[in-house]
Amino acid sequence: MTVSRRDFLKAGTGAALLAATPRWLAARSLREPSLAPPITDPDVKPLALLALDAARSAGATYADVRLTHTWSRSFEPFNAIIQDAEEMAVGVRALVNGYWGFASGPYWTPDEMARLGREAVAHAKANALGKARVVELGKIRVVADGHWVTPVKIDPFTVSIDEVLDYLHGLQVYTESAYPGVSANVGAGFQRQEKAFASTEGTFVTQTLYRTDAGFGISYDNQQLRTDPRQPIMLPSSLLGSAARGWEYIREAPLREEIPILMARLEKDWRLPIKPVEVGRYDVVLDAAGVANLLAGTIVAATELDRALGYEANAGGTSWLNRPLAMLGTEPVGAPLLTVTGDRSTPGALATVKWDDEGVEPEPFTLVKDGILADFQTTREGAGWLAEYYTKHGKPVRSHGCANAPSALHATMEHPPNVAITPGRADVRLDDLVKDLDAGILVTNLTATTDFQHVNGESHSGNFYEIKRGKKVARIDGAGILFRAPNLWKSLTALGGARSLEWHGAAAVKGEPARQSAFSIGAVPARFKDVTIIDRTRKA
Amino acid sequence: MRRRSEPRRLLEEPRRFLSQDQCEALAQRAMRFATGGGDTALYIDTWWSGEMRWGRNRVTLGSDRRNNQLTIRRSIHEAAASVRTNQIDDVSIQSAIQAAERALAYHPTSPEDIKDPAVHFDYLSPAIWSDRTFALGASERAAAARALIEPAEQAGMLSAGYIEVRGAGRALIRSNGEPLYAPYTQAQCSMTVRDPQGTGSGWAGLSSYDWGRIDGAALAQRALQKCLASRNPVGIEPGRYTVILEPQAVHDLVQYVVRNFDLRDIAEGGVHPFALRRDFSKLGLKVADSRVTISHDPMHPDLGVVPFTPSGEPVRPVTWIDHGVLTTLAYNREYALTKLYDNLGYPNTLSYQMSGGETSVEEMIATTKRGLLVTRFSNVSYVDPVSLLLTGVTRDGLWLIENGKISKAVKNLRFTESPLFVLNSIEQLGRPERVFSPGVPAIVPPLKVKDFSFTALIDAI
């Protein structure tokens, strides 16, 4: 008998722990690319149901089970480092008298399914001895058998290592030989995650999700050209980042066409005089990358409902939007031209799924409407917390599909969906915003750090330029912005148009134990008035 | 490494993580799949974690999680590559080995593999396993959480917190060296108590390998008292203040100094907080107040760590800063081989102990004309990694001290300051105590420091 993972589906934990197959047996499957059964294999569903049966028999009023199988491969061509990783997991969540229990492990075996089902219920029951707690799960459309795959043109795991390395290395060689003194940095990583979800309500869905992370940037390698060896001018390509796409994301990006444009910018930049920062209030234009970063650190984090209600108080913190029911529909969080939407169906965006980790099919929703707080990010339990507001306004008490976990080893919790700023009506681009600036500051690639309520922040990095009569006249050294989120968003005076919309990858960490989730932010360049510019390195 | 007697509870079935025998058997199987000669090493972290989380005075999730993290490293001649998996069946292991061998073909020479690392070392046996931690089951954790919530709820406040107990094994098994295995436990407990109106917040937390060394009831009282005393804060002007930093606040800053005890090669490359100039480090120079000694003794009952590194180096007692003088910087094996003609890297586990004094926090307050008492810092990030300039915010309790007394709760402030400046501006030191630092134990004193730089008022509570 060949012991493969497929047989594991039928074997017990003992076999999993002690499997010591003679090598000649295993050698048969030497060149099979996929060693575990694909998530669509008919054996997966009965396996998942074993966990639900065990949870139900042990007394769960509701239970769900997730199976995940994750492959990742990363390339660091400069050091010729290629690293593969694989993780399989199963996690069972059970509800008893309003209390949740969760159990997870790495083995996809029938014994483990049953053990985890029982274990999750045992945890829920132990908690349920406490004071009463009510959980109302938002409505769900049950999908009995669904399957979905991130639309990708080329599965990156089917592309040979040689092809990827050659391509990345080629970009580097091309850039560095065409532009002596310039260094090019490239890197790439791929992930494929297969996942199954089943619940006692009858949902069974499977998905295969892809993600590609890629970076390309250029900088001058010549010490004499730099003012400060610690802060060389680095120009990243705007064409690459993180996206729910395949190998085509890198292969089809017109990087060679972009390189001369980046080079022209780089040369213009280092010819600019360097000025020390003059602290004060300025009109500031941010590029789409900076707006995306600010949005992720402020409004996106602050509209996580669990955070707003205090469930995250002991971890990442709470939110300045801390009275959801009182603030919804009335609280101003930005200028009237600010509208922000959440959506887990945007093609190519990192949080895009067909069903979330509770089996909910997400729909687009509006977080901020014309500058007013309109909604929060929710799970099924979270939707219940806002039932009063939804019912009063004739809206369904339904999850926005924000339940998520990096793998089945982790329990699900509310994580940000893809979030986008609605672009301005006029066809305005970054250059137009800069041209209209008589005197002010342009900041590109701004990143910011905030506090534990995501309200007060300071920029962390970014390239600052002095603008006079619509032109860059100097680089500003050591500058930063200091802001209070609602004030900053209220000072928004102009937004780029639809053609200037860019999607940027973002990540957020929350929970105990901490876990990270990925999402995409759609942002346009923007202009703000009276922004506080500080000298970042100056002490009090 | 001598085989340790297995902890009693490990013998109970079903096992919650892989035993030494299982890890060794797994490695033997893996090594049979290796082709093309060379060496094979398996670094394994196999763990069970029991967790309990609550928010708004109710338990929100109790969980039990288990996993294995295997890093399989293949090296042939002078090239090396590794692959990660969490599966332990033959097909998975063989497939992982093949992936590592495939990657190996692309790798250039790695100086780390110039010499054979298989030398016999004497490894220490720190205190890192606690039966009490491993035995804390779901119902005990639930009962503990209820007891911790109780005082806050009775006072009309909202408690959110987390308890985690972990039992794990770490193994390094090499085709060319003795097998290493160490079972260890970790426990942590922390909570935040908030006023329902959001006008006050208090925090307390502690971690240890031993659940029995965490006094939950004391933490619950402390978080509650801090919450009650921090309500309705008033705003004060940012600027330079004399600060009294509680041990946790000191740890939130000094851990950045400890992280930078790493990589002597960078220090000597010229761009590093402990670089003097190009090619010279500050080793032997005074970098802190003479009363400051930062060291780590893995045999200290509260500072135990797994006694070997992922590459098999023994963890040894170390003094990084001795009475203000920088005496040691860590380096990796590559540095040892190429610069020191030695076979052994000098690891930094990040676990540390900082010397203190005899002044209590109460005495520090009583001798302060005007200053601030800081519970802890949050959202800390680098402004300039070279000068170790950091920014971050105070959190969960900040009070103004006037004429030797706490006069009022004040709104949180953003700071822009270097921990090296702090270590050179000390007025008084208190008795060192354990702080919340899961997995990397630390013992830190409270400090009174002058001219600490606060750069902005923030209104987050």
Q: Name the pairing type of β-strands B389-402 and A280-286.
A: unpaired
Shared domain check, A196 and A97: yes
Bridge partners of B192, per DSSP, are B160, B203
Which class for A438: exposed (0-12), middle (13-18), buried (19 or more C-beta within 10 A)? exposed
Q: What is the CATH number of the domain that holds A109?
A: 3.30.2290.10
In-domain check, residue A498: yes
Q: How high is the ipTM of this complex?
A: 0.94
> Dihedral sign, CA of A343, A346, A351, A355?
positive
In-domain check, residue B1: no
Cβ-count burial B108-142 (b if 16+ within 10 Å, e if not):
eebebbeeebeeebebbebebbbbbbbebebebbb
B43-91 pLDDT, tens digit each: 999 999 999 999 999 999 999 999 999 999 998 877 889 999 999 998 8
- pTM (2 d.p.): 0.93
- pLDDT surpassing 60 at residue A17: no
Shared domain check, A495 and A358: yes
Task: For residue A13, give the nearest of B89, B137, B157, B411 by alpha carbon.
Answer: B89
Shared domain check, A306 and A173: no
Distance in angstroms (rounded) separating the CA atoms of residues A468 and A451: 33
For chain A, give the mean pLDDT: 90
Kindly list the residues from chain A whose CB atom is less than 8 angstroms away from the CB atom of residue B84. 83-87
Mean pLDDT of A144-150: 96
Instruction: Give chain A's end-to-end CA distance (angstroms, integer).
Output: 73
In-domain check, residue A3: no
Kindly list the residues from chain A whose CB atom is less than 8 angstroms away from the CB atom of residue B391. 449, 458, 536
In-domain check, residue B46: yes
- Contact at CB, B60 and A453, closer than 8 angstroms: no
In chain A, residues 500-519 whose CB comes closer than 8 Å to chain B: 512-513
Q: What angle do CA A156, A355, A339 make, to 5 degrees?
A: 95
Structural domain range at position B87 = 8-223
- Contact at CB, B459 and A315, closer than 8 angstroms: no
Distance in angstroms (rounded) separating the CA atoms of residues B452 and B59: 39
pLDDT for res B299: 98
- Contact at CB, B83 and A129, closer than 8 angstroms: no
In chain A, residues 49-108 whose CB comes closer than 8 Å to chain B: 79-89, 91, 99-106
Nearest CB partner across the interface for A124, out of B62, B94, B412: B62
A448-485 pLDDT, tens digit each: 999 999 999 999 889 999 999 999 999 998 899 999 99
In-domain check, residue A223: no
Mean pLDDT of A120-125: 96
Which class for B43: exposed (0-12), middle (13-18), buried (19 or more C-beta within 10 A)? buried
Total domains present in chain B: 2
- pLDDT surpassing 70 at residue A223: no
Shared domain check, B265 and B150: no
**Residue B16 Cα, gap to closest chain A Cα (Å):** 10
Q: Which residue has the higher pLDDT, A274 or A497?
A: A497
Helices B216-229 and B138-154: crossing angle in degrees, nearest 10, is 30
Distance in angstroms (rounded) separating the CA atoms of residues B388 and B380: 12
Q: Which residue has the higher pLDDT, B30 or A227?
A: B30
Task: For residue B401, give the nearest of B360, B369, B361, B364 by alpha carbon.
Answer: B369
Shared domain check, A504 and A399: yes
Task: For residue B444, give the nearest of B436, B454, B433 by alpha carbon.
Answer: B433
Q: Assess A40–B contact: CB distance below 8 Å, yes or no.
A: no
**Residue B302 Cα, gap to closest chain A Cα (Å):** 23
Nearest CB partner across the interface for B453, out of A105, A450, A539: A539
A71-111 pLDDT, tens digit each: 999 998 777 789 999 999 999 999 999 999 999 999 999 99
Shared domain check, A384 and A305: yes
What distance lies between CA B166 and its chain's CA centroid? 15
- pLDDT surpassing 50 at residue A14: no
> Cα dist. B99→A225, A373, A520, B89, B266 in Å?
42, 50, 31, 15, 32
- Contact at CB, B162 and A456, closer than 8 angstroms: no
In-domain check, residue B284: yes
pLDDT for res A185: 86
Nearest CB partner across the interface for A5, out of B91, B107, B389: B91
> Cα dist. A313→B4, B452, B457 in Å?
41, 27, 21
Nearest CB partner across the interface for B60, out of A129, A229, A311: A311
> Cα dist. A218→A215, A252, A338, B81 in Å?
10, 19, 34, 28
Shared domain check, A202 and A332: no
- Contact at CB, B393 and A452, closer than 8 angstroms: yes
Nearest CB partner across the interface for A314, out of B29, B65, B192: B192
A 10 A CB-CB count for B319 gives 15
Contact at 8 Å (CB) between A360 and A401? yes
Q: What is the CATH number of the domain that holds B86?
A: 3.30.2290.10
pLDDT for res A358: 97
Distance in angstroms (rounded) separating the CA atoms of residues B274 and B270: 9
Name A96's Cβ contacts closer than 8 Å, sequence gap at least 6.
A59, A60, A61, A121, A124, A125, A128
Mean pLDDT of A288-310: 97
Q: Assess A3–B contact: CB distance below 8 Å, yes or no.
A: yes
Name A34's Cβ contacts closer than 8 Å, sequence gap at least 6.
none
- Contact at CB, A82 and B240, closer than 8 angstroms: no
Structural domain range at position A453 = 272-540
Residue A222 pLDDT class (50, 70, 90 cuts): low
Task: For residue B109, give the nearest of B83, B82, B80, B135 by alpha carbon.
Answer: B80
Shared domain check, A356 and A208: no
Distance in angstroms (rounded) separating the CA atoms of residues A173 and A184: 8
Among A245-254, A261-270, A416-425, B212-221, where is mean pLDDT lowest?
Answer: A261-270
**Phi, psi at residue B39, to the nearest 5°?**
-115, 155
Query: What is the three-class DSSP state of B401?
Result: strand
Shared domain check, B323 and B183: no
The pLDDT > 90 percentage for chain A reads 77
Q: Assess A30–B contact: CB distance below 8 Å, yes or no.
A: yes
- pLDDT surpassing 60 at residue A24: no
Task: For residue A70, give the nearest of A31, A96, A36 by alpha carbon.
Answer: A36
> Where a domain ends, among B170, B196, B223?
B223
Kindly list the residues from chain B whose CB atom is less than 8 angstroms away from the CB atom of residue A70. none
Name A42's Cβ contacts closer than 8 Å, sequence gap at least 6.
none
Shared domain check, B109 and B12: yes
Beta strands across the sheet bearing A515-523? A372-373, A365-369, A340-343, A418-421, A515-523, A502-510
Shared domain check, B86 and B106: yes
Q: Which amino acid is at B332?
A: N
Among A5-14, A516-525, B173-182, where is mean pLDDT lowest?
Answer: A5-14
Q: Where are any strands of DSSP class E within B278-322?
A: 280-281, 294-296, 318-322
Contact at 8 Å (CB) between B352 and B225? no
- Contact at CB, B412 and A8, closer than 8 angstroms: no
Nearest CB partner across the interface for A310, out of B33, B108, B158: B158
Shared domain check, B240 and B184: no
**Residue A503 Cα, gap to closest chain B Cα (Å):** 26
- pLDDT surpassing 60 at residue A230: no
Tell me which DSSP letter residue A290 carries: H
> Where a domain ends, among B194, B223, B252?
B223
Shared domain check, A431 and A283: yes
Total domains present in chain A: 2
Name the residue of chain B whose CA is nearest to A105's CA: B66
Shared domain check, A193 and A280: no
- pLDDT surpassing 50 at residue A183: yes
> Cα dist. B372→B233, B390, B403 in Å?
13, 19, 12
In-domain check, residue B25: yes
B144-156 pLDDT, tens digit each: 999 999 999 999 9
Kindly list the residues from chain A whose CB atom is less than 8 angstroms away from the CB atom of residue B112. none
In-domain check, residue B3: no
Q: Which residue has the tokens 């400046």?
A: B421
Start-end of H helices in B292-340: 333-339
Structure tokens at B109: 């020479």
In-domain check, residue A259: no
Low-confidence residues of chain B: pLDDT under 50: 1-13
Instruction: Give chain B's end-to-end CA distance (angstroms, integer).
Output: 50
Residue A34 pLDDT class (50, 70, 90 cuts): very low
DSSP codes joined into one string, B60-100: EEEEEEEEEEEEEEEEETTEEEEEEES--SHHHHHHHHHHH
pLDDT for res B55: 97
A 10 A CB-CB count for B365 gives 17
> Where a domain ends, among B191, B223, B255?
B223
pLDDT for res B3: 47
pLDDT for res B119: 63
Shared domain check, B172 and B97: yes
Rounded (to 5) percent helix, strand, coil in chain A: 30, 35, 35
Among A243-247, A261-265, B376-380, where is mean pLDDT lowest?
Answer: A261-265
> Cα dist. B291→A420, A506, B258, B287, B449 in Å?
53, 44, 17, 11, 13
**Residue A108 Cα, gap to closest chain B Cα (Å):** 10
Is residue A341 left, alpha or beta, with left meaning phi > 0 and alpha meaning psi from -120 to 50?
beta
Residue A221 pLDDT class (50, 70, 90 cuts): low
Name the residue of chain A whose CA is nearest to B73's CA: A83
Kindly list the residues from chain A whose CB atom is less than 8 angstroms away from the CB atom of residue B436. none
**Residue A481 Cα, gap to closest chain B Cα (Å):** 12
Name A75's Cβ contacts closer than 8 Å, sequence gap at least 6.
A81, A82, A161, A164, A165, A168, A187, A188, A189
Distance in angstroms (rounded) separating the CA atoms of residues A136 and A386: 11
Shared domain check, B174 and B114: yes
Q: Which residue has the tokens 């949180």?
A: B412
Shared domain check, A388 and A476: yes
- Contact at CB, B84 and A460, closer than 8 angstroms: no
**Residue A96 Cα, gap to closest chain B Cα (Å):** 11
- Contact at CB, B454 and A123, closer than 8 angstroms: no
Shared domain check, B102 and B82: yes
Give a three-class secondary structure readout of B8-26: HHHHCCCCCCCCHHHHHHH
Distance in angstroms (rounded) separating the CA atoms of residues B107 and B102: 10
Distance in angstroms (rounded) separating the CA atoms of residues A70 and A29: 20
Mean pLDDT of A426-444: 97
Residue A2 pLDDT class (50, 70, 90 cuts): very low
For chain B, give the mean pLDDT: 92
A365-396 pLDDT, tens digit each: 999 999 999 999 999 999 999 999 999 999 99
- Contact at CB, B459 and A119, closer than 8 angstroms: no
